[in-house]
Chains A and B, each alone.
Chain A
Amino acid sequence: MRIFLLSLLLISLAGSALPQAILPSAASPPSPEEVLQFLGGMGFTPGFTAALSTALLSGFKTGRATTTVTFLLLRDLAQIPREEAEEILEIIRYALSQGFIVDTGLTASSMMNEVRKLLALGRSGEEISRVLGLRLAFLLATRNVLLGHGLLPPSTPSPEAPLTPADRLILELAWALGDFILWEGGSPEDPRFLGYVRGRLNRLATLGVCPLDMAQEVSAALSPNILAEIVRFVFQP
């Protein structure tokens, strides 16, 4: 009987660990210091390393980047020529300095995940830089045009500012526009363009990825002219 009692006690203790066990397992993320230490060993100039470190620390603090994906990205970039890695990281640093989200963790497409995807596809650093530069241009254009049309609450972009729902909306909208133009081979005049962007935005809002009210408002206000304006902004000389 004592054995029976002891067995049940052990089962109960095991049961106490069950709620943790059924949660998605994830290794503990690296600390910001570990990320910066790795960055420091990549052989970039001290000035670039310092500027990128500052931008990344702000990103980690505000939620515009995560240590997990950043560490994986740096590890990958350490395998390609240093100049190419620096060019890629400079685009990411600039995006952070403009207050854009560059990494959503493991939950969606973003600049850092885009780089890792393209590396997985075996693309060169030069090709990745070109794509990333266009992604940055889509982010800037989307924010400027939406602000210009009064579709976003006015704000001063800052890497230190706390994230707002508009930040995620800009990311998702810019990514949808970029996917259609860059990967679907679409043009701004394509009649499917507006439907594609609206459909994606609404779907993400329904899933709770974007703020529902804001996404519905922006989606309803989008027009072929606004989309064309964004694309013109991206490809302006």
Chain B
Amino acid sequence: MRWDELDELLRAALSKEVAEGAKGLSGLEERVVRELARRSTHQRFWTRVRDFFTRPTPRWALAGALAALLIGFALGRLTAPPALPQWSPNLFVIAAPGARSVAVVGDFSAWQPIPLSDPDGDGIWMASIPLPPGRYEYAFIVDGKWVGQDPLADEYLRTFGEYVSVRYIGGGRADLSS
């Protein structure tokens, strides 16, 4: 093949390639603009997310806090141990003006003293103790002295000459809620 023939063939091949490439170039500008717009939108989303946490509007702050509160309560409910049935607060109260220390002992504490308090100093000492339904024997200890007769008791027992009060929790008249 002669050099001029080869040159002609190469020109024809290049012309063909350019013509085909020109097809791919059509709409290029539009595609570039669209891509830039998409990227711009993408960026704005993350900017908005960042702004949401760093500069929340009052409405979103309140909504977020309420959502966190609900999630917190839900988690608390899920992770809490199952509630014991029907535990209700029971008020143990005794008038002991001038006493230095008052406690209640009973089946519910394995007869260990539970201190009563008299925050306003009026001589009325009290403690609220949550208990499940049942029959409980108890007594007060006022300045170290056994006081076994509680006027709020359902009944009394005498044990070796000392009174012990009895309450039926869950239906007795002394089942007082604090």
| B97 at the binding interface (Cβ < 8 Å) | no
What is the CB-to-nearest-CB distance from A133 to chain B, in angstroms, rounded to a whole number?
15
What is the CB-to-nearest-CB distance from B163 to chain A, in angstroms, rounded to a whole number?
10
Is the beta-carbon distance between B112 and A8 smaller than 8 angstroms? no
| B45 at the binding interface (Cβ < 8 Å) | no
Is the beta-carbon distance between B56 and A23 smaller than 8 angstroms? no
> Which interface residue of A20, A117, A183, A200 has the most chain B CB atoms within 10 A?
A117
> Interface residue count for B (Cβ, 8 Å)?
51
What is the CB-to-nearest-CB distance from B1 to chain A, in angstroms, rounded to a whole number?
80
What are 13 A-B residue pairs whose CB atoms fall within 8 Å in the complex?
Answer: A1-B55, A1-B58, A16-B79, A17-B76, A18-B73, A18-B76, A19-B83, A73-B110, A116-B110, A123-B160, A179-B157, A183-B158, A208-B85
Number of CB contacts from chain A to chain B under 8 A: 127
- The 6 A-B residue pairs whose C-beta atoms are closest, nearest first, are A8-B65, A12-B72, A16-B76, A19-B80, A12-B69, A207-B133
Bitwise, A13-28 to B at CB < 8 A (1) or not (0) is 1111111100110000
Evaluate whether A5 and B80 lie within 8 angstroms (CB atoms) in the complex, with A107-B132, A123-B160 already known: no
Residues in chain A near residue B108, CB distance under 8 A: 106-107
> Which interface residue of A5, A17, A69 has the most chain B CB atoms within 10 A?
A5
Give Cα A118 to B159, complex, Å: 8
| B169 at the binding interface (Cβ < 8 Å) | yes
What is the CB-to-nearest-CB distance from B89 to chain A, in angstroms, rounded to a whole number?
9
Evaluate whether A209 and B84 lie within 8 angstroms (CB atoms) in the complex, with A9-B68, A15-B72, A16-B72 already known: no
| B75 at the binding interface (Cβ < 8 Å) | yes
Give Cα A72 to B73, complex, Å: 36
| A134 at the binding interface (Cβ < 8 Å) | no
| Chain A interface residues (CB < 8 Å from chain B) | 1-2, 4-5, 8-9, 11-20, 23-24, 68-69, 72-73, 106-109, 112-113, 116-121, 123, 127, 179, 183-185, 200, 203-204, 206-209
Evaluate whether A19 and B135 lie within 8 angstroms (CB atoms) in the complex, with A113-B110, A121-B162 already known: no
Evaluate whether A1 and B61 lie within 8 angstroms (CB atoms) in the complex, with A116-B110, A119-B111, A183-B157 already known: yes
Bitwise, B143-166 to A at CB < 8 A (1) or not (0) is 000100000000001111010100
Residues in chain B near residue A123, CB distance under 8 A: 160
Is the beta-carbon distance between B65 and A12 smaller than 8 angstroms? yes
Please classify the interface of chain A as helix (H, G, I), strand (E, B), loop, or mixed, using the class held by over half of its residues.
Answer: helix
Give Cα A4 to B64, complex, Å: 11
Evaluate whether A5 and B146 lie within 8 angstroms (CB atoms) in the complex, with A16-B73, A113-B107, A209-B134 already known: no
Residues in chain B near residue A20, CB distance under 8 A: 76, 79-81
Is the beta-carbon distance between B76 and A208 smaller than 8 angstroms? no
Is the beta-carbon distance between B111 and A1 smaller than 8 angstroms? no
